[in-house]
Copies of this chain bind each other. A is one copy, B any other.
Amino acid sequence: MSAIDLYLIRHGLAGQLGDYVNDDERPLTDEGKRKTKQVAKRLVELGVMVDLILTSPLVRAQQTADILKEAGLSKSLAVADYLATGNMDDWLTWFEGWRSPAKSLALVGHEPTLSAWAELLTVGSATGNLVLKKAGVIGLMVPVEESPIGHSQLFWLTPPRLLLDQ
C-alpha cells in the first residue's frame, strides 16, 4: 500500500476560557509553551519531519504550529479554517488533490476533532475512545490511491508524558 505519513497534533496547554472574551484568542500558557517546545524537539529527534504543517487559525493552535516549525518539523506552514470548524469533507477535498507517494503532513488542531478524524480514518466511525492529550501526537499512514476513510493505519498515539523525560 502506497501511503503518506499524517501526524495529528493537538495544541498545547492554553489559558482558561473565562479569562478571554473570545475563545479563538486564548494563547498557550508559559507551561503550555514549554511543554510544546519539548514535544517539538523530541519529534524532530525521533526523525519526524513533514512537507507541510496545516494549522487551525485559533491562537493556541497557531502558536503550537509556530513552535513545531521553529523546531524543524517542517519548512512550510499554512492556516486551514476547517481545522477549527472540524469539517472533514473540506480537508478530504484538499487532501485528495494534494496527496502523492512519499509526501508527509501534520495537522495542528483541537479536540474532539482530531481524535474523531483519526477514528474515521482508521475504523470508519468515531467512538470517542481515543485519548489525545494537549501537545499529544497521533501518527497515521493514509493511503494515496483509495479513500482514506476506514483504510488508514494508526501507528502512533502518544501523550507528552510518555514521550518526554520528566
Chain A residues with a Cβ under 8 A of chain B:
45-48, 119, 122-125, 127, 129-131, 133, 139, 141, 150-159, 161-162, 165-166
Residues of B within 8 Å of A122, CB to CB, are 127, 129-130
**Given the contacts A119-B123, A129-B122, A162 and B151 also touching, CB distance less than 8 Å:** no
Pick the residue among B124, B150, B156 that contacts A158 (CB under 8 A). B156
Q: A46-B161, A133-B155 provided; 5 other pairs, C-beta below 8 A?
A: A47-B166, A119-B123, A123-B129, A131-B153, A158-B158
Residues of B within 8 A of A152 (CB): 129
Q: Are B158 and A129 touching (Cβ within 8 A)?
A: no
The chain B residue with its CB closest to the CB of A121 is: B129
The interface residues of chain B lying within 8 Å CB-to-CB of A133 are 155
Complex-state Cα separation, A26 to B128, whole angstroms: 39
Residues of chain B within 8 A of A139, CB atoms compared: 162
Q: Are A155 and B131 in contact (CB under 8 A)?
A: yes
For this complex, 27 residue pairs linking A to B, each with C-beta atoms less than 8 Å apart, are A45-B165, A46-B162, A46-B166, A47-B161, A47-B166, A48-B162, A119-B123, A122-B129, A122-B130, A123-B125, A124-B127, A127-B150, A129-B150, A129-B152, A129-B153, A129-B154, A130-B153, A130-B154, A131-B141, A131-B153, A139-B162, A154-B157, A155-B159, A156-B157, A156-B158, A156-B162, A158-B158
Q: Give the Cβ gap from A1 to chain B, nearest Cβ, in Å.
A: 11
